[in-house]
Chains A and B, each alone.
Chain A
Amino acid sequence: MADEKDRVTTRPEVDERGRSKVQDVDRSLYDFVKSEEGYERYADGLTPDIVRSISAKKDEPDWMLKMRLEALERFHDIDMAPNWGPDTSGLNMDDISTYVSPKTKQARDWNDVPADIKDTFERLGIPQAERDSLAGVGAQYDSEIVYHNMREEVAKQGVVYTTIEDAIHDPQWEPVVRKYFGTLIPMTDHKFAALHYAVWSGGSFVYVPEGVSLDYPLQSYFRLNASGAGQFEHTLIVVEPGANLHFIEGCSAPKYYEANLHAGAVELFVGDGARLRYSTIENWSKNMYNLNTKRARVGADATMEWVSGSFGSHVSYLYPTTILQGDRSVCEYTGITFSGANQDLDTGCKVILNGRDTRASMSAKSISKDGGVNTFRSSVVVGRHADNARCTVSCQSLMLDDISRSDTIPAMDVRNRTASVGHEATIGRISDDTILYLMSRGCSEEEARTMVVNGFANPVSKELPLEYAVEMNNLIKLEMEGAIG
């Protein structure tokens, strides 16, 4: 009888169509808040004075202040596209503070990081990851980097991993930052690119010298603790010819009812014959507007790899873009997006094939449940001189219930007769036969569905370092708890 009772109580709630109801997700790992007491917080809203204050705070050169002020004007000039994309009307810049900072200096030792911040990153497993498997770590808390460190042997190879602010103040690297900063993502790109350049703060500058190959990844982790605030970090990575880097970024925030904003920018310059893998596990809280911009320019014989897992945010606009400028350059994109209740995630990728014999391969997966909205949006543009360019795009979408939504909107613009472009997409649900098969082998329905979803996500998780793959699988497990769709 006890067994019978247990079976009854653990059986998921079932809807009228025989599907079990998806339960809310336990996000306690990420949903913890630290006090902002003693923090420096600029007034909500967006004014030239606030922009000047941020610039003054960082003691920036004139060229950067001019750029910020011009960007602010562009922000006010540019409208959001009225005909596509998730609704951003819940985001009011008058209610967002663009600069919030703990009163601490950047540390190179975790022991020098304030206790509450250190506790945050320890709970997220960052110091442990650094010890185990990373060549260097940067940790940003709200608007500023609070910790930055790199292994000595990596530094000896000439690798630079620091904040943009420090690079700007270093006579050796200021010209490099000035040469590249804002060139790949112009401030006119879209409204929130302009906003980014007006109020950017934090982020990383990475320089990998010619021929240097890093055996371990570098990682930046971004935590937005403050309520009603924005995070606007800028990541600038220059991988010189023949060099090799794996860069990982992670993002999370506690949940508030007030809207938060993330409008970062990532500019990646991959030299001839170089290789860069950029991996992201994004788990922003579900009050976050994630309007991030990422772009890479790839030289001849070079390779750009994107691995992306998107689990959080209320609204996302996220399309890593690769410009295959050099002949024989290669791009691979592997991404998964998991959209649940109150989430409208518009994600995908863009690739522009300009060089000859270029190759691009993009594989995207999405899972929708609990009324979540997933949109896969992509563009493939093949230029007139891209002889023998090859590109394939594959998109698979899984619907776990009938109140969710999944759209696939790929665009292709091909202007070279020798190019070959293919696109495949499927949308469907987990077949009853598959579940029945697994249940006949002893799995519960919940286990069977989680197993199928994990298998569905496996091509993405296998591209991640082990500990991040585990984190991603844990996130899927969290999302799938009780989720017998």
Chain B
Amino acid sequence: MASTSTGLEGTTGAMTLTHVNVPPAQTWNYLKIDQIALSVPVPASAGTVPTRLPRLFSRIGAGVGAEAVSWVEAATGDSRYVEVPRGTVREDPIVLSCDADAGEVRDSGVMVRGGATATIVVVSHGSGDSDGDAPLSPTPVATSANLVRVYAEKGATVHLVEVVAMGDERQHLEGIGLAAEDGARVDARQYLLGGGRVAVGFEADLAGDAATLNLDSRYIVRHHEVLDVNHAVLQRGERTRCDIQTSGVLADAGQKTMRETIDLRHGGHGSKGNERETVLVTGDDIVNRTLPVILCDEDDVAGNHGASIGSVSPEQMTYLADRGLSDGEAEALFARALFDDAVIHAPEQQSLAAVLDRAATVVGDDMAHDLASGLGIEPASADDPKEE
């Protein structure tokens, strides 16, 4: 169902969300890694009665925390609810977009019934790029939010593609929540391609036996952008599987915080959780925080995590220089590879347009054109979307 309001028009003043992206297990507070605070507009309290999601969705966490979810629910207009009938295969992707330039705040719920298959595309896009030289303003030009909660019933299959692509004058809050019953499978790809201050939560509750989550998360953080991510997976069912692969590029004075938690709960016999982050650092003034956590109160499980943080080695740079690439060009290749991957996996026009728009800003128009023509497509504008 289409929304009739995006929520933040007519807001008065600002408020601070102090506990956004709080991981399930925290650590020394002086490290400032346990949460991020966001200054957001106070939701208007006009006497309207917007459409709300079914109560079921309130039980699904979205990684951003209860305070942020409450703000979204207060600030949004009508919520969007989509249901995929039992046993069906939905061919058209469900597109849940958010226009950051307009400061939209969206709240969506998707029910994928037993045995059904669906592709969900979450696109949060916007422009608003500064020259990148100055640190971020403490009062961002625009704040947007996109909250999506998905309930996958027994045997359901969900393909989720998430794109966050906007300029560094935008502040964005994004939360993805998943609940998976027995045998449900979620394959998610997350592309975090830009935004001045972006907080992304991703929480999955693998409550059913043999529920599976594969999350492939890619990001690029540049200029003075701040990216704050909280991935949390709760493995409660027996023989659940979780595999999180995260990789990204940290350039200029970009700041990134990545929290990844695998929580292997008592009773989840035979479950396995795996997480890995690889960070390529190309900036001299970066801040790179990582908190990869495994919580475990069951012996019949296996949990692994790894993190690798580093730059391109001098040997690799020499190899590329021998082939005529400067340091800057070589590092741009890594950024291009990330956009290449995003373009290949964008399942429909709107996400594709958002990626290509952002690619034009980050790696240049020529490279963005190459990306598009490599797929034999003409880039379309993200401002002209077709939406659920």
Within 8 A of A (CB), among B302-342: 302-311
* C-alpha gap A84/B311 in the complex (Å): 32
Pick the contact of A421: B264, B302, B307 (CB < 8 A).
Answer: B307
Is the CB–CB distance between B311 and A428 below 8 Å?
no
A408 to B266, CA, bound (A): 16
Interface: A426 (CB within 8 A): yes
- Report whether A427 and B292 are in contact in the complex, using a CB–CB cutoff of 8 Å: no
**Nearest chain-A residue to B305 (Cβ)?**
A425
A409–B31 CB distance below 8 A: no
Q: Does B48 contact A (CB under 8 A)?
A: no
Q: Mark B288-308, 1 if CB is under 8 A from A, else 0.
A: 111111111111111111111
The distance from the CB of A302 to the nearest CB of chain B, in whole angstroms, is: 25
CA A397 to CA B305, docked complex, whole Å: 12
CA distance A419 to B309 in the complex (A): 8
C-alpha gap A397/B292 in the complex (Å): 15
Q: Smallest CB-CB separation from A408: which chain B residue?
A: B294
Tell whether A407 is near chain B: CB-to-CB under 8 Å.
yes
By a CB distance below 8 angstroms, the chain A residues around B303 are: 408, 425-428
Give bound CA distance, A415 to B285, whole Å. Answer: 7
Given A379-B27, A417-B282: A412 and B294 interface contact (C-beta under 8 Å)? no
Residue from A81, A384, A425, A429 whose CB has the most chain B CB atoms within 10 Å? A425
| Distance of A407 Cα from B305 Cα, bound (Å) | 12
**By the criterion CB–CB under 8 Å, are B34 and A83 in contact?**
yes
Contact present for B299 and A413 (CB under 8 Å) = no
C-alpha gap A421/B292 in the complex (Å): 13
A22-39 interface (Cβ within 8 A of B): none
Residues of A contacting B288 in the complex (Cβ-Cβ under 8 angstroms)? 412-415
Contacts A417-B283, A427-B296: A422 and B27 contacting too (C-beta < 8 A)? no
User: Which one of A399, A423, A485 lies within 8 Å of B292 (CB-CB)?
Assistant: A423
Task: Let me know if B26 and A404 touch, CB within 8 A.
Answer: no
Flag if B299 contacts A422 (CB, 8 Å). no
Q: Does A377 contact B (CB under 8 A)?
A: yes
Determine which of A377, A417, A419, A423 lies in contact with B27 in the assembled complex, contact meaning CB atoms within 8 Å.
A377
| Residue among A384, A412, A415, A485 making CB contact with B290, cutoff 8 Å | A412
Total residue contacts A-B, CB cutoff 8 A: 138
A365 at the interface (CB under 8 A from B): no
Chain B's nearest CB lies how many Å from the CB of A424? 5
Give A38 to B36 CA distance when docked, in angstroms.
56
Instruction: Kindly state the separation between the CA atoms of A429 and B272 in the bound complex, as whole angstroms.
Output: 12
Q: Which residues of A contact B306 (CB under 8 A)?
A: 422-425
Contact of A420 among B27, B296, B299, B309 (CB under 8 A): B309
Q: Which residues of A contact B301 (CB under 8 A)?
A: 399, 427-429
For the complex, is A458 an interface residue (Cβ under 8 Å from B)?
A: no
Of B28, B266, B296, which is within 8 A of A406 by CB?
B296
Q: Mark A58-88, 1 if CB is under 8 A from B, else 0.
A: 0000000000000000000000010110000
Option from B29, B282, B309 in Cβ contact (under 8 Å) with A412: B309
- Which B residues lie within 8 Å of A409 (CB)? 25, 27, 291, 293
Give Cα distance in the complex from A379 to B307, angstroms: 13
Q: How far is the CB of A69 from chain B (nearest CB, A)?
A: 26
Question: Given the complex, which residues of B lie within 8 Å of A84, measured CB to CB?
Answer: 25-29
- In Å, the complex CA distance between A449 and B20 comes to 44
User: Is A157's CB within 8 Å of the partner chain B?
Assistant: no
Contacts of B293 in A (CB 8 A): 407-410
- Asked if A408 and B26 sit within 8 Å, CB to CB, the answer is no
A426 surroundings in chain B (CB, below 8 A): 302-304
Decide if B215 is an interface residue (CB 8 Å cutoff). no
* Bound complex: CA A414 to CA B290 (Å): 9
The interface residues of chain B lying within 8 Å CB-to-CB of A412 are: 288-291, 307, 309
Among B123-158, those with CB < 8 Å from A are: none
For residue A446, CB closer than 8 A to chain B, the reply is no
B363 within 8 A of A: no
The answer for the CA separation of A379 and B290 in the assembled complex, in Å, is 10
| CB–CB A81/B294 < 8 A | no
Residue A92 interfacial (CB < 8 Å): no
B365 → A minimal CB distance (Å) = 27
* A344 at interface, CB cutoff 8 A: no
**Assuming the A-B contacts A411-B28, A411-B289, A417-B282, are A427 and B311 also in contact, with contact meaning beta carbons closer than 8 angstroms in the complex?**
no
> Are A81 and B31 closer than 8 Å at their CB atoms?
no
Interchain CB contact (< 8 A) of A414 among B291, B294, B309: B309
The contact string, 1 if C-beta is below 8 Å from chain A, for chain B 261-280, is: 00010100000000000000
**Which A residues are CB-close (under 8 A) to B304?**
424-427
How many whole Å from A243's CB to the nearest CB in chain B?
32
* Least CB separation from B250: chain A residue: A417
Does B33 lie at the interface of the complex (its beta carbon under 8 Å from any beta carbon of A)?
yes
Neighbouring A residues of B286 by C-beta, 8 Å = 414-415, 417
**Interface residue? A314 (CB, 8 A):** no
B281 within 8 A of A: yes
A window 376-424: CB within 8 A of B: 377, 379, 381, 384, 397, 399-415, 417-424
Q: How far is the CB of B388 from chain A (nearest CB, A)?
A: 38
Q: CA A83 – CA B28 in complex, angstroms?
A: 9
B287 is an interface residue with CB less than 8 A from chain A: yes
**Are A411 and B31 touching (Cβ within 8 A)?**
yes
Contact of B300 among A377, A418, A424, A429 (CB under 8 A): A429
Docked pose: A402 CA to B304 CA in angstroms = 18
List chain A residues, Cβ under 8 A from B299. Answer: 399-402, 404, 429, 485
A423 touches B305 (CB 8 A): yes
Can you list 7 A-B contacts with CB-CB less than 8 angstroms, sorted by A residue number?
Answer: A400-B299, A408-B294, A412-B307, A419-B281, A419-B311, A420-B308, A425-B304
Closest 4 A/B residue pairs (Cβ): A399-B299, A420-B310, A427-B303, A405-B297
Having A399-B296, A426-B303, one finds 11 other A-B pairs with CB under 8 Å, namely A84-B26, A379-B28, A399-B301, A401-B299, A402-B266, A408-B293, A410-B292, A414-B290, A427-B264, A427-B302, A428-B302
